[in-house]
Amino acid sequence: MDLEQGKKIYIEESRELLDDMDQALLALESDPSDSELINRIFRTAHTIKGSGGMFGFDEIVSFTHVLETLLDKVRAGSIAIATDPKGDSPLLALLFRARDNLALMVEGLSTGASAPAAETEEIRGLLQSYGGSGKAAGPAPSAAPAAPGGGPADPDHYSHVSVRFGRDTFRHGMDPAAFLHPLAKLGEINTVICVLDSLPALNDESFDPEDCYLGFEINLCTAASKTEIEDVFEFVRDESRIAILPPESSVGEFVDLIKSHPGEDMELGAYLVQCRAVTSTEIMRALEEQKKGGGLIGEILVKQGSVQKEVVEAALEKQKTVRAQKAQEASSIRVDAGKLESLIDLVGELVIAGANVLQLSHKAGSGALVESASGVYRLVEELREIALSVRMVPIGETFTRFQRVVRDISKEVGKEIALVINGGEAELDKTVVEKINDPLVHLVRNSIDHGIETPEVREKRGKPAKGTIRLNAYHDAGTIVIEVSDDGGGLNRERILKKAVERGLISAGQNLSDREVYRLIFEAGFSTAEKVTDLSGRGVGMDVVRRNIEALRGSVDVSSEEGKGTKVTIRLPLTLAIIDGFQVGVGGNSYVVPLDMVVECVELTEADRRSSNGRDFINLRGEVLPFIALRHLFGGNGEKDARENIVVIQYAGMKAGFVVDGLMGEVQTVIKPLGKVFQGLKGVSGATILGSGRHPLAILPPLSPFEGERIKVRGCGLGIGRIEKGRKH
């Protein structure tokens, strides 16, 4: 790993850590006395600082050190998180500002635009002077580090750190001496001895001048845990040998922790890790040694200098009273998004090629060839499912980020609002998740500004002073449904109609259903706000929401009840890449309907035509089913078949039918977006290529039956292919 790659990893991990800090701070508002949350925030700041020191990000290290020092006071109990009469906490507000400023500093590493210097210095000063000290809360460099209990550490309270760097340390752009700087931040380094015990003779053939043969023996006076010390060497931990022997003064503490540990089933190493006597890395290294016949785990740890013998004996004694149980941790790997996109594209091409091979094998009439091609196609289907599942992520992470949005904006506008999240485990394509964030931000901000009333108004209306915004997600008929609702004042139907008439969107006296009236808010520039605020009122936002969602082949709808609230419903495809479809034929052209939306297929008989009297609906087992003939909608060549079928589809709780000439069965469809010429084509989501080489259009509701429209586009099923990397299909 070179320096640039390490920097990229640092930025990605810092973003995740800052998101975690944000959620912990939000939770801390509800329970300021939760010590675990405070420790979690402290550990996050410490990790960002420690890793930043390795790369020489001095501004981040300096700022985070001041933040960490204040957090250390909070977790030690010397500073309490107090609230004012309104329930607000000045300290938490400062911590939120510090977190946001730190996020700007981290983003500046990739963009080159760091946080404003004046803002950084102001926050730094507030952090340092919090509590009236007027000075940095941390110890002076020459002072002894604070002990766990809050008092000064014993000068003899030393941990011994033994490091042997990996041979490839230099090649990965790492400087062994650079690790001393972040290590010194944890306390006071008493001695550093550079050892060369692995250095071969200069005339030895194995000697490589690019290899690293260095090692350090360090005495460190610190109150930091072994894990915190080990985190300093995070970027060389896998290839280096690191042993951290805690001070003798800690032996009694470790023994007491082990004795007081709950009677859970676990291995010796788990006891030692949980009482922080050893780190998980030391345990793994000991296990590797044990595989080579090195003896018992406890003996290996003592031999490696990772822990004192007395601590191991105490853990063994505790282990005798419970049954051993191994803990298994799930692992994950980071994959570049570009590589994942390439994989999905190649799998899509493989699906098309597999279908082509299967079709050709049937034409050849060879049983053995058909069987072999069918086996390959089944494997391709399995590969497709796995490839698509890799890109599926829970939407809960996106939902959770809105906790901070609701908190900040509600305080800004003087409202009390709670955010309730349901269905966060629902999964959809990562690409869709990324693109749906901005529309959701618009909807949540509108709910806060337009929907939820002020506490005084709510109380007059008999509502709780605190309003509620709900984010809900669930799967339905091959789509994911996202609902953004509030219990506010709802939409004013008459005001919307009046504004629409003024804008010329509708005629005065025009009779519209509630649904049609409420959908007017998605028109460009439409707003009924009495005054323009920083949040909304300019008519910019809801039309953008609709365009962004439709660009994802989705739909958006709104329902409201005046005085009770509003609900915006978004429907999106689970994935933008590959779908299971149902192929139909109309006038020599082929079309594909998403299979999850197909309910059944029925024959359109002459009796049905006579009973409908020329109208576009039939009686389907006592249920009125509206239908539309795709031949009339899109046009088509060839004569009309004497026998037609209706494909019954269900979408958003409504049913409709497509009249088609032929039913061709299920097909896997790789959807590619249409070119600019056809982007405004309604009722069609994209183009694909079948195994035969033909290119049907994939149809995705909502279509005319739901919108009450009639669209005629002649010949749109002809000549539409997809262009990829300069190659036209």
Per-residue pLDDT, 149: 35
Domain boundary among 546, 573, 600: 573
The domain spanning residue 39 has which CATH number?
1.20.120.160
Q: How far is the C-alpha of 343 from the C-alpha of 279, rounded, in Å?
A: 37
- Total Cβ atoms within 10 A of residue 209: 6
Per-residue pLDDT, 552: 81
Residues 425 and 546 in one domain: yes
Q: Per the omega criterion (within 30 degrees of 0), is the bond before 702 cis? A: yes
Per-residue pLDDT, 344: 81
- Does residue 325 lie within any of the structural domains? no
Residues 383 and 434 in one domain: no
Q: How many CA atoms lie within 13 A of 208 on its CB side?
A: 9
- Does residue 148 lie within any of the structural domains? no
Based on its alpha-carbon atoms, the radius of gyration of the chain, rounded to whole angstroms, reads 33
Per-residue pLDDT, 155: 39
Nearest alpha carbon to residue 671 among 715, 724, 619:
724
Residues 371 and 411 in one domain: no
Residues 17 and 75 in one domain: yes
Per-10-residue mean pLDDT for the chain, 729 residues long? Answer: 69 88 88 85 84 79 88 83 76 91 89 82 86 36 37 50 85 84 83 80 82 85 78 82 65 52 53 63 74 72 72 67 37 72 83 83 87 89 83 85 87 88 86 85 88 90 91 83 92 87 83 85 72 52 83 85 90 76 82 86 79 74 85 70 83 82 80 67 69 59 39 30 29
- Does residue 194 lie within any of the structural domains? yes
Domain boundary among 346, 367, 391: 391
pLDDT tens readout for residues 475-519:
886 688 999 999 998 888 888 888 888 888 888 878 888 888 888
Buried b (16+ CB within 10 A) or exposed e, 462-485: ebeeebbbbbbbeeebbbbbbbbb
Number of domains the chain contains: 5
Q: How far is the C-alpha of 463 from the C-alpha of 449, rounded, in Å?
A: 17
- Does residue 119 lie within any of the structural domains? yes
Residues 403 and 511 in one domain: yes
| Paired sense of beta strands 158-164 and 215-222, if any | antiparallel
Q: How many CA atoms lie within 13 A of 720 on its CB side?
A: 27
| Paired sense of beta strands 589-594 and 697-699, if any | parallel
Residues 483 and 623 in one domain: no
Residues 416 and 521 in one domain: yes
Residues 409 and 545 in one domain: yes
- Tokens 């345990």, residue? 283
Residues 479 and 505 in one domain: yes
Domain boundary among 114, 129, 144: 129
Q: How far is the C-alpha of 272 from the C-alpha of 306, rounded, in Å?
A: 11
- Does residue 326 lie within any of the structural domains? no
Per-residue pLDDT, 487: 92
Contact between 301 and 287 under an 8 Å Cβ cutoff? The reply is no
- Does residue 134 lie within any of the structural domains? no
Residues 615 and 625 in one domain: yes
Q: How far is the C-alpha of 571 from the C-alpha of 553, rounded, in Å?
A: 9
- Does residue 405 lie within any of the structural domains? yes
Contact between 634 and 720 under an 8 Å Cβ cutoff? The reply is no
Q: Is 206 exposed, middle or buried (0-12, 13-18, 19+ CB in 10 A)?
A: exposed
- Total Cβ atoms within 10 A of residue 415: 22
Angle between helices 35-54 and 58-76 (to 10 degrees): 160
The domain spanning residue 606 has which CATH number?
2.30.30.40
- Does residue 376 lie within any of the structural domains? yes
Residues 605 and 670 in one domain: yes
Domain range enclosing 446: 393-573
pTM above 0.85, yes or no: no
Residues 105 and 171 in one domain: no
Per-residue pLDDT, 98: 92
- Total Cβ atoms within 10 A of residue 523: 16
Per-residue pLDDT, 372: 92
